[in-house]
Chains A and B, each alone.
Chain A
């Protein structure tokens, strides 16, 4: 089959590789019809996530048709399914309490030591990511082996096209959980850093959950425009002193909840961010946490901090004093996708959530490398790239 493989920093290529096959009883094989490039794929592209090996197949947002099932899969050939990016066994303690992204069993034993040493506990398995999260072959390919296929994939009705439901795999539930983690209450003013796909879905979710006002922060005009269309007020951090603006826009109280939908590769002018960039470049594992630092300073006393943005290592100058002295609550984590797919599919069907507005480009899988390059270099206009293995090359 054809698949997008990681070869090194800023080097991804579509190559011919061996097809996947059923290995464990609960497996299914999915023929991919649509797969997206995620903002967190750019962290792999930029080489800032450890444990990615040459030849790894990337991609963790995908959907398609069931073409083969193991004896203990409950899927049927021909069904259309969206596959969560988190791989979860459904049977362990964490899965039982719906902490699917904390599954104890989905990361192969021999892959667990690295994250166990770094984080104190091993991570769950994820598709198309680091070997710290299992090194599972990802969805930017023609076929994918999907473990625990009786737990993860959600069958979608035929009248909803791929573009409408694809984002149930990651960014829609991730934006939703980000808002849920911000514990949004009526009358809240919520600030969201980053108007990428996760930030945009977090804005939509926060408004659905009853926030009185959402303020979106970014520096790409087109992305800010998308946020405005969803009903957010916007701040361009290139033009505006963000802390001063937020303080004033919240009537001197500070915003009630903040969402960092940026993560470890934050842009910014502040001196500590420039230091972070330097440290990340020479590979001493520093995450660039300037969005999170600013969010913690901006949030009101007793406020809530939600972090859907991806971090992998250690952050310097983390404002632990502000966190403690202001009495903040901090909630974060990889998304427990399986917890949300059913409800969010219903919201899509009812027309309550718009899922397609952020797609800027649709490309054949063969042009995936071009998609990565542009998604990275032209972030203003390339907001979301969907790859279609079946599509003819332009």
Chain B
């Protein structure tokens, strides 16, 4: 499989531009010419499902079909304050008022939080929102969410693609470990919660009492540690 084909795949997946914008293109092009021999035509699978590493970046993706109209879901997501209602690691996302910038406050152990500021790099109303961390952030991260009509009456396919790169050094290592250790699992869980919230109007819990829900336990743990 050649680097050229891989790039083609990334272009198909619509991620190449996004990755290059964050400086991640380097590890993609670095593969050019390294592999020779059999050329396999690119398949139609999403880029993040490739059986290969992404260098110093962690890449995760997930799609979910939600039985709600595309515009409604887009509007809900675009109001960033809503994200903490289904993203478990997020304490809050607060728009700062300029160029779609927002400050994400992310849960970390020992009652602490980490903040990352992001800006919107691309926005297509009703269809796509892409963001990335502003220069100088402790974590280089970028992501995007797309909204596409699902076949027939099935609603909307919501897809997220997230790439992030922790900084070098001890601090970065700890941060990476703390807050996005398993981005694929986190993305999957967050999207399932979004689906529950938008379809059923509530997030499922099997707790018998209010103080036993996962959210309540997390909250009290956070307060205890702080």
Contacts and interface: CB of A to CB of B under 8 A. Distances in A.
A93 B154 contact: yes
B214 A110 contact: yes
Contacts of B214: 108, 110
Interface string A6-27: 0000000000011111011110
B209 A20 contact: yes
A109 B192 contact: yes
Contacts of A23: 205, 207, 209-210, 213
B223 interface: no
B34 interface: no
B195 A107 contact: no
B200 A148 contact: yes
Interface stretch (A30-38, A131-139, A183-191, A343-351): A131-139
Nearest to A88: B200
Most buried by B among A18, A21, A104: A104
A147 B209 contact: no
B67 interface: yes
B204 interface: yes
Contacts of B193: 109
A105 B201 CA distance: 10
A104 B195 contact: yes
B67 A125 contact: no
B98 interface: no
B43 interface: no
A5 to B, nearest CB: 12
Contact of B206 (A18, A90, A91, A137): A137
A92 B202 contact: no
A19 B192 CA distance: 29
A19 B196 CA distance: 26
Most buried by A among B65, B192, B210, B213: B192
Contacts of A18: 208-209
Contact of A109 (B153, B154, B155, B189): B189
Nearest to A92: B199
A274 interface: no
A108 B213 CA distance: 10
A344 B204 CA distance: 29
Given A23-B213, A104-B195, A125 B201 contact: no
B67 A91 contact: yes
A335 B32 CA distance: 54
The SS class assigned to the A binding surface is loop
Given A89-B199, A93-B67, A106 B208 contact: no
Interface string B123-144: 0000000000000000000000
A92 B207 CA distance: 22
Given A18-B209, A20-B209, A105-B195, A92 B200 contact: yes
Contacts of A136: 206
The size bracket of the interface on B is 20 to 34
A369 B208 CA distance: 22
A36 B155 CA distance: 39
Given A109-B193, A125-B204, A92 B67 contact: yes
Contacts of A89: 196, 199-200, 204
Contacts of A93: 65, 67, 154-155
B113 to A, nearest CB: 21
A20 B211 CA distance: 11
Interface in A89-125: 89-93, 96, 104-113, 125
Interface string A74-96: 00000000000000011111001
A72 to B, nearest CB: 7
A271 to B, nearest CB: 41
A279 B209 CA distance: 39
A24 B202 contact: yes
A253 B64 CA distance: 47
A145 interface: yes
A18 B207 CA distance: 11
A134 B206 contact: yes
Nearest to A108: B204
A210 B68 CA distance: 42
Given A91-B199, A112-B192, A96 B206 contact: no
Nearest to B191: A109
Given A21-B210, A108-B206, A110-B189, A92 B195 contact: yes
A26 B206 contact: no
Nearest to B202: A24
A90 B67 CA distance: 11
B192 A26 contact: no
Contacts of A137: 206, 208
A134 B209 CA distance: 15
A25 B202 contact: yes
B84 to A, nearest CB: 15
Interface in B141-171: 153-155
Most buried by A among B185, B192, B206: B206
Given A104-B199, A108-B206, 5 more contacts: A72-B201, A91-B199, A92-B199, A112-B192, A125-B204
The 10 tightest CB contacts between A and B, nearest first, are: A89-B200, A24-B202, A91-B199, A20-B208, A136-B206, A105-B196, A134-B206, A109-B192, A108-B204, A105-B200
Interface of B: 65, 67, 153-155, 185, 189, 192-193, 195-196, 199-210, 213-214
22 contacts: A19-B208, A19-B209, A21-B209, A21-B210, A23-B210, A24-B205, A26-B200, A89-B196, A89-B204, A91-B67, A91-B200, A92-B195, A92-B200, A93-B67, A104-B192, A105-B195, A109-B189, A110-B189, A113-B185, A135-B206, A137-B206, A145-B208
